[in-house]
Amino acid sequence: MFTRLENTLRGMDTAAVMILQYGKLIYHYGDVERRYQCHSMRKSFLSALIGQAVAEGRFDLSLTLAALGIDDRQPLSEVEKQATVYDLLTARSGIYHPANYETPWMQRIKPPRHCHAPGENWCYSNWDFNALGSIWRQLTGENIHQAFAQRIAQPIGMEDFDAERDGWYEDGPFSDHPAWPFRLSTRDLARFGQLFLQQGRWQTQQVIPARWTDTSTRPISHAGSHGAYGYMWWVTRNGIGWPEAVLPEGSYSAQGAGGHLCLVMPALDCVVVHRVDTDSPGREVNRFQAGKIVQLLLDELGER
C-alpha cells in the first residue's frame, strides 16, 4: 500500500508524511516526532484561536484598525485604517505596507500601496497576518504560543509542542508588527488537522466552535491557481489546489513555504501532513512536486 507514493517521496526532499483516515493512522514516512518549522501554516493556528475568542466575545471582527489604534512605521492612511479585523483575517485589507517574514513570492504579488480600498481585493500579504497577531495580543492579552498550547495543544493531546521552545516573535526591519513563527511535529500537526475534520470536537470537548470550522474553511476569495482562500486557510475551488491534482470538493489546507502542508479532505475523512526540513538550506518540495504527491495519494486511496 502506498508503494508508488513512497517511491516518489524518496526522490524528493520530503522529510515526513502522515496520513490519517477515519481517525486512524494508515501511513507514515520519515521522522514524525521531529519538530519542523511551520512557516505560513502558523496562520491557520491563529485562525483557530480567533474562532475561540470570537465565540467568547473577546474578539470582534468588525473593529477597524482606526478603532484599535493600529498603525505602522510608514503611517497608514485614513482609508487603510478603515480596514476591519475581518478584512485582515481574509487577506482583503488593501494594506500593502512592507511586512516582516515574507517570501519572495509574497513580495512579488504585492500591489503598490493605496491602489485598493479595504475589502476590495484579495492579496496574500504577511502584513495582514502579522498585524492580526498584534491585534490578538491587544484584545486578549494572551501570548499567541501560550494560548495555542493551553487552548488547543493540551486539549487534543499534542505530544511534542512546547510553547517556550517552539514559538517565538520575529521582529524585522520593515514593520512594527512581528511575525510569530511555530515549530510543530508531523504527528502534532496531524492532530490539528483531525480536530478540524471533526468540526472542532475532540472526544467530549468542543475545542473550536463547529460554526467557526465551517465558516473559516469556506472559499471566500478566488485565489487563481491556488484555489480559494478562507479565514487563513487555503480552500479547494472546483478541485483546484495544486498543479496536476484534482482534490475532492470541500478540501482545505494549511500551507507553509518549502512544501509544508496539512490537508484536510472531509469527503474522504482524511488528513494528510507533509513536511520538509527547511532548516537545511536548499531543501524544498515545490508546488508541482506537491501536486504530484497529492494526486498519487488520491489515486492510491481510491485503490484501497
What are the boundaries of each domain within the chain?
3-302
Cβ–Cβ contacts within 10 Å for residue 72, how many? 20
pLDDT surpassing 80 at residue 42 = yes
- pLDDT band, residue 1 (cuts 50/70/90): confident
- Residues in a beta bridge with 229: 221, 234
- Beta-strand runs (E) in the chain: 14-21, 24-30, 35-37, 183-185, 201-202, 205-206, 221-222, 228-229, 234-235, 252-256, 260-265, 270-276
Q: What is the pLDDT of residue 303?
A: 75
- pLDDT band, residue 225 (cuts 50/70/90): very high
- Which of the four CATH numbers 3.40.50.20, 1.10.3720.10, 3.40.710.10, 3.40.50.11540 does domain 3-302 have? 3.40.710.10
- pTM to 2 decimals? 0.97
- pLDDT band, residue 157 (cuts 50/70/90): very high
Tens of pLDDT, residues 178-205? 999 999 999 999 999 999 999 999 999 9
